[in-house]
A = this chain, B = another copy of it.
Amino acid sequence: MKANGKEVRSVEYDKERNVIRLIDQRALPEELKFFEVGDYKEACYAIKDMVVRGAPAIGVTAAFAMAQAHLQKKDLKEVAGALRATRPTAYDLNYAIDRMLESEDPLRAAMEYYDSILDKGKRIGDYGEALIRDGSTVMTHCNAGALATADYGTALAPIRRAKEKGKKIKVLVSETRPRLQGAKLTAWELSNEGIEYYIIADGASGYFMKKGMVDLIIVGADRIASNGDFANKIGTYEKSVLAKENGVPFYVAAPVSTFDFSIDTGSEIPIEERSEDEVLFISGKRIAPQNSRALNPAFDVTPCDYVTGFITEYGVFKPEEIKKIREKNHYAQGRVA
């Protein structure tokens, strides 16, 4: 991805120093700075505190943290347990850790996993781009971009690709309270790519759909159940219901590593509850009266009925076609058989 004209990646591994270098997403858009992970405890901190976030990016960070720990002769089962405990909803984390545990050469496996995520983003971009007509307005939520993967993105990949192919598009970015990943991160990416975008309050999404100003919605996912129910950033479910009500196509862009074929429906997905302070403070400033309480579920589950299609590295599938995704992915197929 571009940042001030240069190419950067949100997750990189420095083989010589055995260090993982992350873009510190907490500092964006004000400042592009990096955070170095020297061991798995630092990796756990980086994931929990959202230095790095986005299901695929958490997955690759965990993969490198496992490889790093292997080289440091740590007990990989213990490391895996600590990493898994950081964030309960994102499935790529478990997927990546499982692959590392099963590998005889974790570093090679991590590098392959990383390359595959980059490649999958591009394939998602190609398949998704075909859904975006020239002149369209696309709505997205939270950040499912290069920052959330390693490069290129999931939901933003088709948008990037459409721009590369010369299509004139606009993006409506819902700011995504409480952590404002839309206003801070997605806007930062789109700004760097020179894509026209407008930030809107989360509650304004329905207004624009009802006015006929949204041609399609593309979001990412943190975990997708076998039936197509999926967890994503809080606010996604609302958009899906409003999209159906207003006849707006609603797509989920995710690599197969986000599919959890061990669960049947979304009711089995654990939902992370984060600190009340994420709601009660913005940029360190309290917005509510002293002693106010808040409820802060970080994700919600969207039933498959609201999904038009899943944009994956194997193509675009309807919820009822998820079996085909599983069949195409021998690894996923074998692991849960």
Contact = CB atoms under 8 A, between A and B. Distances in A.
A177 B269 CA distance: 29
A298 B47 CA distance: 36
Contact of A203 (B208, B238, B294): B238
A113 interface: no
Contacts of A200: 279, 294-296
B238 A199 contact: no
Contacts of A234: 201, 203-204, 207
B188 A289 contact: yes
B300 A197 contact: no
Contacts of A183: 279-280, 287-288, 292
B202 A29 contact: no
Contacts of A312: none
Contacts of A187: 288-289, 292
A165 interface: no
B294 A199 contact: yes
Q: Which of A191, A201, A241, A282 has the largest number of chain B CB atoms within 10 A? A: A201
Contacts of A206: 235, 237-238, 241, 300
A143 to B, nearest CB: 12
A210 interface: yes
A205 interface: yes
Q: What secondary structure prevails in chain A residues at the interface with B? A: mixed
Contact of A199 (B180, B237, B279): B279
Interface residues of A, number: 52
A203 B188 contact: no
B293 A197 contact: yes
A161 to B, nearest CB: 22
A176 interface: yes
Contacts of A178: 201
Interface in A113-136: none
Contacts of A208: 295
Contact of A295 (B29, B172, B291): B172
Contacts of A29: 288-289
Interface of A: 29, 141, 172, 174-178, 180, 183-184, 187-188, 191, 197-208, 210, 233-238, 241-242, 245, 279-280, 282-283, 285, 287-289, 291-297, 300
Given A201-B234, A202-B203, 14 more contacts: A172-B295, A175-B287, A175-B288, A177-B203, A183-B279, A188-B289, A198-B295, A199-B295, A200-B295, A202-B235, A203-B203, A204-B235, A206-B235, A238-B242
